[in-house]
């Protein structure tokens, strides 16, 4: 059994706390070499709700991003398992987390994403906070 990094345990623990509304009205804040990423966790219920809708016209922007990304991730993971005959990534690849309503602040520019996949190995620091209170 591969032991996860302390970074992954801390980040995933905060992600889970946000998902369970232990830290309500807060977002995950990630420091990366590209800038600051903020976003919220995506629950299994949100994924199932998005996938259950038959038409994109019925979906919010975030739901359509979740539906598309979820379907793509399913295909990518299946192909990975078939090609490499494994059911998990190789050791040393620490995985990813998936955020909704994500924002990247980088060099004075702001980029918004319905959903964003962030790889653990790209995270330099993590915090939890209410970013809307800091917006001008």
The answer to whether 28 and 128 have CB atoms below 8 angstroms apart is yes
Residue 53 lies in a domain: yes
- pLDDT for 1: 58
Q: What is the domain range of residue 39?
A: 6-134
pTM of the complete model: 0.81
Residue 39 lies in a domain: yes
The answer to whether 53 and 67 have CB atoms below 8 angstroms apart is yes
Domain count within the chain: 1
- pLDDT for 136: 45
What number of other Cβ atoms are within 10 A of residue 80's Cβ?
Answer: 14
The answer to whether 62 and 101 have CB atoms below 8 angstroms apart is yes
Residue 113 lies in a domain: yes
Rounded-to-integer distance, Cα 91 and Cα 102, Å: 28
- Give the domain CATH number at 111: 2.30.30.100
Residue located via tokens 């964003």: 116
Residue 1 lies in a domain: no
What number of other Cβ atoms are within 10 A of residue 70's Cβ?
Answer: 18
**Residue ranges, the chain, pLDDT below 50:** 133-134, 136
Beta strands in the chain (DSSP E): 27-32, 35-41, 96-106, 109-119, 123-129
CA of residue 58 relative to chain centroid, distance? 23
- pLDDT for 53: 86
């Amino acid at each position: 059994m591969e032991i996860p990094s302390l970074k992954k345990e801390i980040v995933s623990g905060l992600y889970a706390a946000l998902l369970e509304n232990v830290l309500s009205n807060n977002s995950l804040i990630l420091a990366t070499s590209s800038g600051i990423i903020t976003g919220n966790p995506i629950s299994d219920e949100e994924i199932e709700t998005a996938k259950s809708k038959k038409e994109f016209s019925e979906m919010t922007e975030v739901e359509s991003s979740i539906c598309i990304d979820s379907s793509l991730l399913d295909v990518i993971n299946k192909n990975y398992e078939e090609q490499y005959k494994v059911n998990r990534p190789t050791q040393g690849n620490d995985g990813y987390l998936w955020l909704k309503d994500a924002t990247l602040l980088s060099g004075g520019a702001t980029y918004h994403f319905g959903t964003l996949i962030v790889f653990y190995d790209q995270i330099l620091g993590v915090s939890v906070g209410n970013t809307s209170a800091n917006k001008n």
